């Protein structure tokens, strides 16, 4: 009977060792939980992006307003009865080198 109790205690100790201290025990479980949380966050961001893209596709399919807006912003297109004015910023004048005093050379004798 004593050997059976000793064997059961040894099995329990080995199982506890494997659970708490081995590479595939509690530390691995913690690492996997963190990886799952990171992946959930990434999935949420991607789902939001997909929803925005689906809304944009629906806009493009349903009307000409979205198509016209894209053509204007991305391709620089203008309408038939419109006039395009391009405002060019004024460049600052580059200053020319100023002449302060004429250079004189003195020869050393």
- Residue 57 tokens read as 């596709």
pLDDT at 69 over 90: no
3-state secondary structure of 79: coil
pLDDT band at 108 (very low <50, low <70, confident <90, very high): low
- Confidence at residue 107, expressed as pLDDT on a 0 to 100 scale: 55
- Confidence at residue 35, expressed as pLDDT on a 0 to 100 scale: 97
Mean pLDDT of all residues belonging to the chain: 83
In the chain, pLDDT over 90 holds for what percent of residues? 21
Q: What is the pLDDT of residues 3-33, one digit of tens each?
A: 889 899 888 888 887 777 777 778 888 899 9
- Global pTM reads 0.46
- Spans of all domains in the chain: 23-79
> Which phi-psi region, left, alpha or beta, contains residue 76 (left: φ > 0; alpha: ψ -120 to 50)?
left
- Confidence at residue 41, expressed as pLDDT on a 0 to 100 scale: 97
Residue 102 phi/psi, 5° resolution?
Answer: -70, 145
Q: What does the pLDDT average to over 87-95?
A: 84
């Amino acid at each position: 009977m004593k050997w059976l109790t000793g064997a059961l205690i040894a099995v329990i100790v080995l199982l506890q060792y494997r659970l708490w201290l081995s590479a595939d025990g509690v530390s691995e479980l913690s690492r996997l939980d963190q990886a799952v949380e990171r992946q959930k966050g990434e999935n949420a961001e991607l789902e939001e992006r997909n929803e925005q893209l689906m809304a944009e596709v629906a806009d493009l399919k349903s009307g000409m307003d979205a198509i016209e807006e894209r053509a204007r912003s991305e391709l620089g297109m203008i309408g038939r009865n419109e006039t395009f004015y391009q405002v060019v910023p004024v460049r600052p004048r580059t200053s020319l080198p100023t002449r302060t005093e004429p250079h004189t050379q003195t020869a050393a004798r």
